Structure 1
Amino acid sequence: MIFPPKFICGPLKNALFFCFSVLFILILVDSVSGLGSMDSISASFGDYGLFCAIDASGKQAVICWDTKNRNSTNSNSLRYPNNLPPMAALSGGEGFLCGILANTSQAFCWDSKDPSSSSDLVLPVLQFNAYSHIAAGKDHVCAVRGSYYSENDFGSVDCWDIIRTSNDSLSSKQSARFYDQLKIAMQSAKGLEYLHKEAVPPIVHRDVKSSKVLLDADWGARIADFGLLTPQERGLNEDMSTDVYNFGIVLLEILSGRKPYDADCTPPNVVDWAVPLIRQGKAAAIIDRYVALPRNVEPLLKLADIAELALKEDPKERATISELALLLDQIVKDGLIL
């Protein structure tokens, strides 16, 4: 199953999805023409060169072959065609493939080189869930809950990472994306607080955005490309409130996974889209549904409230960067239960 990039919205997404799918299938036609009726072709990327497909004749067996061997119609080029359970859907990542079991709708993932390791590649807490859709990226998997054979699904998305260990084997782990980015946001806020409150003369950045936050070797956040202003040069408080507003946009990026401005989304401005939902008590609607969520989403809802404090229309009503840093520090100390 092929999915378009998550940041593409509206009609453009559908058009790109259709064109890319058709192109992908045409490229593979020559390779699979001798293997009979196929469905749900998937790839294992990287140096592994493995493609798999579901036999659409009724058995739903998984058939895999090496793309480096052009004579794919030769049964000797097929890999473990009889060692995998029947599948209803397939998707591939770097060195691994995932599918939905035909009989139970459960997720099933395996190492391209070692199908026997499949039990290790789905998180234990997710192994008994039923799924309607599954999609793998380079090093992660996301699946939508619900029966594959039902028109309805539960809508919630489970995601997990698949990592390669030092001995070149694969293992799965729960994604800690939100917690890592919360720490980066907190460190960035403290960096801005130092510029605003401790530096002499005070320093105002004037162009706070996610691309200006740099990470060191230990994943510590550093603010780059800031300006130098004194109270006599401009209205310092107003400039500081602009830094706060722009930092609020960074928080929305972390929460939603959206760009600050995306012409293919409605509304295109992330502030115009997210802030009204937060003020209506619907902050959960802006949380990025393409990544694994912690079991306790309350800290993420608090993060949405913090972003709203930074995004007040009236600069005088916005929180200071010191207040934001304190609130973010408390969320990080409380932690996210993954």
Structure 2
Amino acid sequence: MAETPPPLRIEDFDFALPDGLIAQAPARPRDAARLLHVGRKGLVDRAVRDLPALFRPGDIMVVNDTRVIPARLRAHRGEAAVELMLNRAEGGGLWHALARNARRLRAGDALAIDGAPELPCRVLERLEGGAVLLDFGPDQGLLATALDRAGEVPLPPYIARPEGPSDADRQDYQTIFAKRPGAVAAPTASLHFTPALLDAVAARGVTRATVTLHVGAGTFLPLRDDDVRAHRMHAEWGEVSAEAAAAINAARTAGGRVIAIGTTALRLLESAATDAGIAPFKGLTDIYILPGHRFRSADLLMTNFHLPRSTLFMLVAAFAGMARMQAAYTHAIAERYRFYSYGDASLLERAA
């Protein structure tokens, strides 16, 4: 009979971060951001534009081409104000969404979208955890136009915008790879890439594969249970095409390393991983990666610095090792690296 693993306590993933290290705008140019190389031989301070020197000919870089939509909507049910965060398209005009004041909503309620009164919006079902299922009607063009006009860029709460996201945020919070609309949070490691950096990476002999994971609103949700194993991730839609899977497997077979650009790419790769390699994948994943996870996809992970007590800090601790990541974050704080979505980056080697 298998033994039950010991509980992982949320305080094991805690650390003190000065507010002044939370980046409020990206580095300009983007590849001027700092990069902490976290390897088996220690920690090295570098810059993002040094990445080509850290890669090898034959490596393959895996990026997420999701595009952030203006997913935050203000609405009213009668006189009651409701804030909606679109989370996941369910097809046919239906959306899974998180709703502030969701307890006020009932199935059948009609909502008036502030700034887009022509857009129909009806509550089909109230779900667990403050979520609702919304019907915006079958006209996808109408919804896209309404979102562009009335929706807000869903910046994380730690980026202070008292007057709401700026026009610059619409561009800043979008990666160079963004192509397929559907995310409510950016795959932030990719925010550092510029055309010049991509050219330098290609000149190094590094290829690139593209996957899609539409990052959901659950990425912002706090953990509420002391035993982190009790947490459940919101499902997100992803796709690894047959072409991408073949390219990744071919690179690895030839001796190249797989470099996941961002935790979203890594989570999707792990969802598609088999003992024989990466398989094509299309559908929902709620993979939750904690220390003890056996990685089967990536050898390196480029990622920003994450929140304390977050599922993403747990993921990097699983990938590179708890002690190594605690040392890396202590170093980053002491050296005043910039944290979170608009902050600096790290390049992690997978622990043995």
More strand by share: 2
TM-score, length-scaled by structure 1: 0.23
TM-score, length-scaled by structure 2: 0.22
Q: Considering only CA atoms, is the larger Rg found in Structure 1 or Structure 2?
A: 1
More helix by share: 1
Task: Determine which structure has greater relative contact order: mean sequence separation of CA pairs < 8 Å that are 6+ residues apart, divided by chain length.
Answer: 2
